[in-house]
Structure 1
Amino acid sequence: MQKCNIHKKGLRKVYQLPESVFQILIGSFFILFFLLPNLTKAQNRVIVGKFIIEPPTLENLGFEWYIEGDVNRNATVKVEYRIAASAKEWKKGMPLLRIGGEHITRAGIDYTTPHMFAGSILDLNSNTSYEARFTLEDPDGVEGEAVKVVKVSTRAEPKAASGGRVRHVYSQYYTGEKLEPNYPGLVSAYNGSKETKGDWYVVSEDKVQPGDIIKIHGGLYQGVLLNYPDWNNIPFDGTYFFTAKGTAERPIVIEAAGDGEVIFDGAGAANLFNVMATDHHIFQGLTFRNVGRVFDAGRKHLAGASNLTIRNCRFEDVGEGIRTEYAGSKNFLIQDNVMIGRDDRYRMYGWAAHREGLIPYGTHLMDSYYGIMIYGPGHVIANNSIAFFHDAIGVSTYGTPEKEQDLKAVSIDIYNNDLHLMVDDFIEADGGVHNIRVMRNRGINAAESGISAQPVFGGPAYYIRNVLYNIGQGGALKIHGGVPGLIAYHNTFIAENNAGGGHPNSNYRNNLFLGSDGPTIVAAFPYTTPYSIADYNGYRPNRGAESPENQYVWLSPKGDRQGFKTLNSLSQASGLETHGITIDYDVFENLQKPIQAAKSDKPSPVYYGVDLNFKLNPNGKAVDAGVIIPNINDNFRLKAPDLGALELGSPAVIYGARGLKQDQEFWR
């Protein structure tokens, strides 16, 4: 103790401090010395916040759990689920993704993700009640309710109500006997007034009510846009306006009567069906053609439809199929449709061809834009067949998410779609926030990139069991803006993963990346956080690479980029891909690499999904080379899960509109 006093006196003398000031400093030092560990532990302890159940979809459920604390990011959330009231054992789900503090910058956006967990339970039965149990664990302690048990039901597919009024619509060219009540055109039937010629088309004598069904009989419905007393009552702009409200139990249905094809020809109009003011409408069995946009379903900060169902319809020669960019749009079901755009059917040109003046507008480069564009929560886009657009399916590039929970693009499903020949990308999740689920899609021929995220605002954005083939120089994944929360499991990408922008908090497992010998790297790992994961993936390097010593590029924690010739050398330096393997096309039964993807000055060859076999070779290196991921590959067949989208021996996947011939291209 005496030595300590002498030392303190010496320090006070050296720094020429008064005794009182020096005693305060010494006391503060000892307080910090003993309290700092407790303060650090308090910061690392997780504090429970709001728990949110996102809008359920037909097959999936999404959840968010906000927190404070957990500065060292070692908290986890265990997920279990079962059918409610079944008394069955709990099934294990994927853990929720820890999110928070990731910074997103792009096109003026400046957004930092909140501290939370988010995630999904996948591949459930529709119209079924489930129990889900979430257990929050942290070695540093949990303050608050650590276990949440919730009961939530998946959605049922919308269907017509029984006992609703039925109205019949016949084409102006129909001359046979008509069922009653019948109306001269869809506008008249919707508004309930038969005398709608001329100015009377705006009159609603007996507008449709919840539960009503309008049956459109076979024939051509094409307005004469410059004739104001035209039969179809859509003068000058050629647009049908729908404004009624149905209910979940009693939707308003507009459908083909079943006595022949119903064709709505837009006669070159910009918009055909304006449904922005509707709620709970079903359109089914109809054909649309010769129009700019078929369904105008929502505009940002203006208005938008909700609970819109469009299924079993055919779109031909259209600029866009369905679009809403209204944050309040929710719970769309877009299912089993065929959409044919106006872009080139025989060549794969990218943006560069137009920018360099090689192809002018109006010659099938960008005559079409999106097949489907949506925003808002709870949408399902499933089993659609889409070809010859700029992009097939997209979440709107909306910008910074709205603060209100029911206005965010969350819980969106895009699955089992068949996508052929896009000028840009197959699927863009660009404006999504949490639980964007892109699963089991097949994309053949995209001139730029396969799946885009530029950006997603926190995630998770799940890319699961997708098959992509013949992709441009942008690679399988387009990632810009510091995108966090990408989860890529069990994809077969016949393309490089050469995303250039740095992105945090990503998880890649059980994927196949096979290059096509283009002049680029096969894989980039631009992870800006140490908690990103890449492991158990298979890679085929590009033999025609300009820099073969840089086939694998890693962004180190120091921020510098390092290139590696082999997967093993990457693993030793980075700790990534400790179970990754190098493969070749012999991992498949019979699949050849595509000819090098399009350059800016010439088109790339076009391939056809019906000619391609993505099944694994039973003796190939991809079999049993994966890792178990709960709720993703529980039903693997042999010793371990296989790499890629198609597990050996699993049932065939149906891509695109069900009911079509699987051995024939859908646009023919």
Structure 2
Amino acid sequence: MFSRRWTAVGLILCLGVLTPVTAWCQETEPRLLRGTATPTFNSVGLAVDYDGNLPEGVACEVHYRKQGTAEWKKGLDLILCPQDKQFRGSLLNVVSNTVYEVECRLVRPADATGSPLSQLSLTAQTWPEEVPVGQVKEVPENSGAPLVIRDQGKADAWVVYRPAEGKTATINPGMTSAHAVVIEKASYVVLENVTVRGGQTDGVMVTDSHHVRIRRCDIAGWGDPGVKKTGLSKGLYVDSNGKLIDGQAGVRVAERTSQVVVENNFIHDPRGTANSWTYQHPNGPVGVLLWCTDGNNVVRNNDIIGSEDHWWNDAISSYPNNQVNGGPYRDSDICGNVLCFSNDDGAELDGGQINIRFFENWVGIVLCGVSGAPNLRGPAYIFRNLLLVSGEQDWRGGVGFKMGAYGKQAGTAVIAHNTVVSKKHGFGGNYYGAPAGEKRRAGPILMRNNIFVCRQKDLLTAGYGPGESEGDFDYDLVKKDGIDPPIAEWEKHGVIAAPNFRNAAAGDYRLLSDSPGVDAGVVLPSLNENFAGRAPDLGAFEHGPDESMCFPRRHDGLSVFPLHVSVDPATGQAGAGEISLSVPPSAGSRWTAHVNNPHVHCEPASGSNAPGSRTIRLRVDDKLEKPANPPYRAAVTFRTDKGYNRTVMVEVQFTPPAEPAASAPAEQNLIVNGGFEDGLEPWSKRDKGEITSETAHGGKQCVMMSHPGDGNGYYFAYQKPLKLEAGATYRLTAWIKTKGLPAGSETFVRCVAEPSNTMHLSPIVKGEADWTKVEVEMTLKAGDDRIGIYARCKSPAEGSAYLDDVSLVKLAQ
């Protein structure tokens, strides 16, 4: 059950299933027996054993403080895990290399005295950012042999493998060995700023080791590309023996490993690729694989970048999914990563998920953002992530959060302060296959303070409700009818609206100050207390002095802007292909741009560090052919000589060639197919447009825009570029009809002159109306030589708008 109560500091939670006490059982007072506090850099996993009979609604509160300070802070309550007779949870957003004192207090919600039923004290010291170096072993500039590391360092004297001062180092055994780098039976070792190439199976393999740091390395070119073989039950690529190729990793963290840190690496371009869902479940390479580890590992601040030629199965993958020690397993953090080009998941957390934290990651160009299916023990904490689920290789859209249980085993997931923009759905809770003879089950979920912007449904409720799994969903931003099927108890304090982002086209998903979702969240102790305004903002980003365009947040100081760039080889789009790059001296003296697409180029492609920022221009090959499903997707990763990285996503749009200005005499209609008698071309369907013959102003058909009534504005756009004359005057004419729209609706045509981005609006047709002529005249400013044309309908209720007989003419001077 979910038992919760509210206090001035936020939500107190107790999630799980309370074991009933039968009449013949002797009642015993509940006690906290013993506990563990397992730290990483910025989190502490807590697990507390208990015995006795728990009263209904009992909670295990957490209070903590830095050692040597007086003030206690409230943390999120621990979550009841009755199958293990434990309360478990995590301290979040703590500071590295710091000793924390923790008090766990078992309390009744109605206890006015404040005296706990039982109390337990714990202490933990978070990990330091840097380690004491005892010995440095220089890696040669070029080595054709695999690097094998078996050193046994000490806690106060780590062994560091790195290039000689002022040199670079490359390990490239090609396909002569299974792994380019092997770290086995090692402890207190660092592999730093080494270029790793080759390996039949993996780039780097870590096994039977602890206290290992792999940082600032460039890892690529591993694995078997295989050959195509169709007709398989799943997959597409097999090796020379006909065996399906899957799970070959840039970094494999394998059995008997703990305290392994994979950080600030650039992992890219495996030799093979994963199949799309056209060939059933993807199989193929992964960036990082967590394979039956002992837990307590960290994967942070890596750029794990696939491409149109080298897709991941998962950028971060887990194995085996249906075992408790599968995947990250326990007390681990996955944070600050950029994960893109996955035919399945951006990241898999699947397995035990005992105090697993996934936060401040940017996931894009994937079928699914994060998989937590199954969560066998829990709890998992998924917060402050940006998930841009635009679709896999063949443009199939999936879901932001793919959650689920396995059989009767189910752990809780806390999902808070994420921004999800999805081609399909936002959340689903019963995505994992059930054992034979059982139906799929959803896992318990606590959902708070998220933003969902999804083309289909925001929240899928299958598996929740009476007699099924428990879901507590509230204080999220969703659209009208975004919950399917509706559950009355969900989102009682939610915001039903569309957010206003600062500049989504540039990758800036911060909210504008007047956007729905600002100051609309609920306080979650240790997770969002440092908010500005009356309450926390919804989504991944909070207003305030610490807000930054550069995401994920990293401490190296390397920054790029914007995070997303669109370029068009047909129009050039002056200025649209520019990136501002800033490299502080601490991050390196030189930088290089790595583009994952041979048709996209950076000018310059490398350079020396200098104060301030510099402009990098993107150029696309003029002869790049339009793909079957545009746009063409790419990424540019800027990497310094010290091994720090920043990635920008690139979209190559393909616009039909513009008509030359000289071919447009006065009073000639410049719009092609303005009466829609030839279908939609060259109009873009965009949001809601479709051809209909049920009505028309002229001819036999027009275009209809069906509005779902969610209060948002939907557009229908003219796709063919219009090359015009600066200083000339043009008149746009269109006919609009509306049906079933309320008085508060607005339908009109908008022209945007470029590159100045000057808007010209037609008269607005409000409510329901028969065919109405609207016109707008515009004189283009100096420098403006093209316009975009958009029909827009905004309505708080369902209805339809129709557009017909659109014309654009140049007026005589």
TM-score, normalised to structure 1's length?
0.67
- Return the structure number with greater helix share: 1
Quick check: 2:197–2:220 contact (8 Å CA) kept in 1? Answer: yes
Map 1:187-226 onto structure 2 (within 5 A): 211-217=134-140, 219-223=141-145
Distance (Å, rounded) in 1 between the aligned partners of 2:73 and 2:553: 30
SS at match of 2:198: strand
Q: How big is the shift at 1:40?
A: 5.3
* Count of residues in correspondence between the two structures: 487
**1:552-591 to 2 correspondences below 5 Å:** 552-553=483-484, 563-564=485-486, 570-571=487-488, 575-584=489-498, 586-591=499-504
Cα distance, 1:651–1:322 mapped onto 2, change above 3 Å: same
Aligned to 1:104: none
How far apart are residue 369 of structure 1 and its match? Answer: 2.4
Name structure 2 gaps, 5 residues minimum.
1-19, 224-248, 307-311, 392-396, 431-440, 562-578, 580-634, 639-813
Residue 369, structure 1, aligned to residue 351, structure 2: no
1:78 aligned to 61, 69, 72, which one? 61
CA distance in 1, matches of 2:124, 2:23: 38
Q: Match for residue 461 of structure 2?
A: 524
Aligned pair partner of 2:300 in 353, 377, 382: 382
State the partner residue of 1:352: 277
Deviation, 1:350, is 6.2
Q: Are 1:662 and 2:535 counterparts?
A: no
Q: Structure 1's 613 and 68: CA in aligned 2 closer, same or farther, altered over 3 A?
A: same
In the TM superposition, what whole-angstrom CA distance separates every residue of 1:502-539 from its partner, at most 9, and x where no partner exists? 3243100001111135xx66533633657531100111
Distance 1:515 1:503, change over 3 A: same
Work out which of the residue numbers 28, 33, 57 in structure 1 matches 2:40: 57
Counterpart amino acid of residue 295 in structure 1: V
The aligned counterpart of 2:170 is 263
Unaligned runs of 5+ in 1: 1-36, 101-112, 162-210, 224-238, 299-303, 357-364, 542-548, 554-562, 565-569, 593-610
Q: Distance in 2 between matches of 1:252 and 1:63?
A: 31
- Give the CA RMSD over aligned residues: 3.2
Deviation of residue 129 (structure 1)?
0.9
Determine helix, strand or coil for the equivalent of 1:275: strand
Q: Which residue of 1 aligns with 2:222?
A: 318
CA contact (8 A) 1:487 1:508 kept: yes
Q: 1:153-200: CA deviations, max 9, x gaps?
A: 112235243xxxxxxxxxxxxxxxxxxxxxxxxxxxxxxxxxxxxxxx
Match of 2:375 among 444, 448, 456: 456
Corresponding residue for residue 212 of structure 2: 308
SS class of match (1:646): coil
The 5-angstrom pairing of residues 41-52 of structure 1 reads 47-52=30-35
- Looking at structure 2, the residues matched to 513 and 41 of structure 1 have their Cα atoms a distance apart, in angstroms, of 49
- Aligned partner of 1:488 in structure 2 is 415
Structure 1 residue 402: deviation in Å? 6.4
Distance 1:260 1:45, change over 3 A: same
2:302–2:336 Cα contact (<8 Å) kept: yes
| Partner in structure 1 of residue 315 of structure 2 | 392
Deviation at 1:428, TM superposition (A): 0.8
In structure 2, what residue type is equivalent to 1:662?
V
Name the SS for the 2:389 alignment partner: strand
Code of the residue aligned with 1:459 in structure 2: it is G
Note if contact 1:285-1:313 (Cα within 8 Å) is conserved in structure 2.
yes
- Counterpart pick for 1:295 among 183, 195, 204: 204
- Is the CA contact (8 Å cut-off) linking 2:354 and 2:380 kept in structure 1? yes
Q: Percent identity?
A: 23
CA distance in 2, matches of 1:380, 1:38: 40
Deviation at 1:487, TM superposition (A): 0.4
What is the CA–CA distance in structure 2 between the aligned matches of 1:76 and 1:284, rounded to whole Å?
45
Q: Matches of residues 122-133 of structure 1 in structure 2 within 5 Å?
A: 122-133=92-103
Tell me the CA shift for residue 540 of structure 1.
Answer: 3.0
Call closer, same or farther: CA 1:270–1:408 in 2, change over 3 Å.
closer
The offset of 1:90, in angstroms, is 0.6
Kindly indicate whether the alpha-carbon contact (under 8 Å) linking 1:455 and 1:479 is maintained by their aligned counterparts in 2: yes
Superposed displacement of residue 629, structure 1? 0.8
| Correspondence for 1:466 | 385
Name the CA distance, whole Å, in 1 between partners of 2:21 and 2:344.
54
Q: Structure 1: how far apart are the matches of 2:471 and 2:55?
A: 15
Does the 8 A contact of 1:126 with 1:154 survive in 2? yes
Q: 1:480 to 1:41 in 2, by over 3 A?
A: same
Matches within 5 A, 1:234-273: 239-268=146-175, 269-273=177-181
On the 8 A contact 2:452/2:458 being kept in 1, the answer is no
Aligned pairs for 1:479-518 (under 5 A) are: 479-482=403-406, 483-495=410-422, 496-499=425-428, 501=430, 502-517=441-456
Residues 280-310 of structure 1, C-alpha deviations (whole Å, 9 max, x = no match): 1110011112334122113xxxxx2211100
> Superposed, which structure 2 residues align to 1:106-117 within 5 Å?
113-117=83-87
What is the 5 A alignment of 1:178-189? none
Aligned partners of 2:206, 2:313: CA distance in 1, in Å? 19
Cα deviations by residue, 1:527-566 (Å, 9 ceiling, x for unpaired): 365753110011136xxxxxxx7x523xxxxxxxxx24xx
Relative distance call for 1:222 and 1:510 in structure 2 (3 A) is same
**CA–CA separation in structure 1 for the residues paired with 2:552 and 2:449:** 21
1:408 deviation in Å? 9.0
Query: Residue 623 of structure 1: SS of its match in structure 2?
Result: coil
Q: Shift in Å at residue 248 of structure 1? A: 1.3
Distance 2:166 2:65 in 1: 44
Residues 391 and 425 of structure 1 are in contact (CA less than 8 Å); yes or no, is this contact kept in structure 2?
yes
1:277 to 182, 185, 188: 185
CA shift in 2, pair 1:469/1:654, >3 Å: closer
Shift of 1:120: 0.8
Question: What's the counterpart of residue 756 of structure 2?
Answer: none
Structure 1 position 450, deviation (Å): 0.8
Cα distance in 1, alignment partners of residues 429 and 298 from structure 2: 30
**Aligned-residue offset at 1:395:** 4.0
Task: Report the CA distance between 1:323 and its aligned residue.
Answer: 1.1
Match of residue 81 from structure 2: 99
Per-residue CA distance 1:216-269 (angstroms, 9 max, x = gap): 25x32224xxxxxxxxxxxxxxx4333231121112211122323211123134
TM-superposed CA distance for 1:627, in Å, is: 0.7
Contact preservation (8 Å) 2:389, 2:398: no
DSSP 3-state at the match of 2:60: strand
Q: Contact 1:54/1:411 (CA < 8 Å) preserved in 2?
A: no
Deviation at 1:397, TM superposition (A): 2.3
Relative to structure 1, is the Cα distance of residues 139 and 444 closer, same or farther in structure 2, using a 3 angstrom cutoff?
A: closer
Q: Is the 8 A contact 1:484 1:503 kept in 2?
A: no
Q: For residue 428 of structure 2, what is the amino acid of its counterpart?
A: A
| Structure with more of its chain in strand, by fraction | 2
Contact persistence 1:122–1:631 (CA under 8 A) = yes
Deviation of 1:70 (Å): 4.5
* Cα separation, 1, equivalents of 2:527 and 2:24: 35
**What's the offset of the Cα at 1:654?**
4.0
Give 1:276 shift.
2.3
Aligned CA distance change for structure 1 residues 463 and 44 (closer, same or farther; 3 Å) = farther
State the match for 1:159 in structure 2: 131
CA distance in 1, matches of 2:520, 2:403: 27
Q: Distance in 2 between matches of 1:339 and 1:257?
A: 22
1:39 Cα shift? 6.5
C-alpha deviation, 1:662, in angstroms:
2.4
TM-score, length-normalised on structure 2?
0.56
Return structure 1 stretches of 4+ with deviation > 6 angstroms: 41-45, 139-145
Quick one: structure 1 residues 474 and 71, their matched pair in 2 at CA, closer, same or farther if it must change by over 3 Å?
farther
- Aligned equivalents of 2:130 and 2:147: distance in 1? 23
Matched residue, 2:266: 338
Note if contact 1:385-1:666 (Cα within 8 Å) is conserved in structure 2: no
Secondary structure of 1:353's counterpart equals helix
Structure 1 pair 500–630 and aligned structure 2 pair: CA distance change class (3 A): closer
Partner of 1:147: 119
